[in-house]
Chain A
Amino acid sequence: DVKVTQSSRYLVKRTGEKVFLECVQDMDHENMFWYRQDPGLGLRLIYFSYDVKMKEKGDIPEGYSVSREKKERFSLILESASTNQTSMYLCASSYGTTYNEQFFGPGTRLTVL
């Protein structure tokens, strides 16, 4: 079974802190994604990566950066956390083309105080 893991299920940080969210997948998938999920808005793509060291902006990249130094690991970085970044963050991975399903991690619920 494909497994996507995220470093924390729940995280509480203070405004201005630098926050790292880590995602690891064990199925050698080329593509990895970071979403945020807010009620009524569905999932919104923050960044994605289709190869090591490659990254592409999604719909809402402002305030975020990403790092993919190894194929299995995709990190989301909040350089200076703000209260409007309080959300559920979901990581996903997929292989091959865009027509293949994405496999999701359990999510990280981040609260910024």
Chain B
Amino acid sequence: AQKITQTQPGMFVQEKEAVTLDCTYDTSDPSYGLFWYKQPSSGEMIFLIYQGSYDQQNATEGRYSLNFQKARKSANLVISASQLGDSAMYFCAMSDSNYQLIWGAGTKLIIKP
């Protein structure tokens, strides 16, 4: 069965440090997509970054990059130079062939000043 695992329920990081949020996935489908979303305390879900299973390069979007290790089935999100506004819940998700996203349980990230 397809599954997303986020093993870090919560993390504290000092402002301006880089942070890595872990995500591992399980699928037997050779074609899939991996997403990261941010959910601030206000509740809205904000799309951050996407990686396709056939993409050769790791995806990057500004301060966000996705460390995609296909053989290990991991898709960690790296945030460089963290800011106070990065404090939020972060969700990893995987698309399957049925229009659905399978979601991890999320990681609560707190940036300390």
| Contact A107 B44, beta carbon cutoff 8 Å | yes
Contacts of A109 in B (CB 8 A): 43
* Given known A-B contacts A42-B104, A42-B106, A88-B43, A101 and B96 have beta carbons under 8 A apart: no
A106 surroundings in chain B (CB, below 8 A): 42-44
Measuring CB to CB, which residues of chain A are less than 8 angstroms from any residue of chain B?
31, 33, 40-45, 48, 50, 56, 58, 88, 90, 92, 94, 98-99, 101-107, 109
Instruction: Report which of B91, B95, B98 forms a contact with A99, defined as CB distance below 8 A.
Output: B95
- In the complex, which residues of chain B have a beta carbon less than 8 angstroms from the beta carbon of A88? 43
* Residues from chain B with Cβ under 8 Å of A31 in the complex: 99
B12 at the interface (CB under 8 A from A): no
Contacting A58 at CB < 8 Å: which of B33, B37, B100, B104? B100
* B35–A50 CB distance below 8 A: no
List, in ascending order, chain A residues with CB within 8 A of B9's CB: 40
Residue of A nearest to B34 (CB): A99
How many Å lie between the Cα of A92 and that of B99 in the bound state? 12
Give me 18 A-to-B residue pairs in the complex whose CB atoms sit less than 8 angstroms apart, sorted by A's number.
A41-B105, A42-B91, A42-B106, A45-B100, A48-B99, A48-B100, A90-B45, A98-B33, A98-B98, A98-B101, A101-B47, A101-B50, A102-B101, A103-B47, A104-B44, A104-B46, A107-B43, A107-B44
Interface residues on B, range: 20 to 34
Interface SS of chain A: strand
Closest Cβ neighbor of B104 among chain A residues: A42
With A43-B103, A101-B35, A102-B47 known, 20 other A-B pairs at CB within 8 A are A33-B100, A40-B9, A42-B91, A42-B104, A43-B91, A43-B101, A44-B103, A45-B100, A48-B99, A88-B43, A90-B45, A98-B100, A99-B52, A99-B95, A101-B50, A104-B46, A105-B44, A106-B42, A106-B43, A106-B44
Q: How far is the CA of A43 from the CA of B4 in the complex (A)?
A: 11
CA gap between A48 and B101 in the complex, in Å: 11
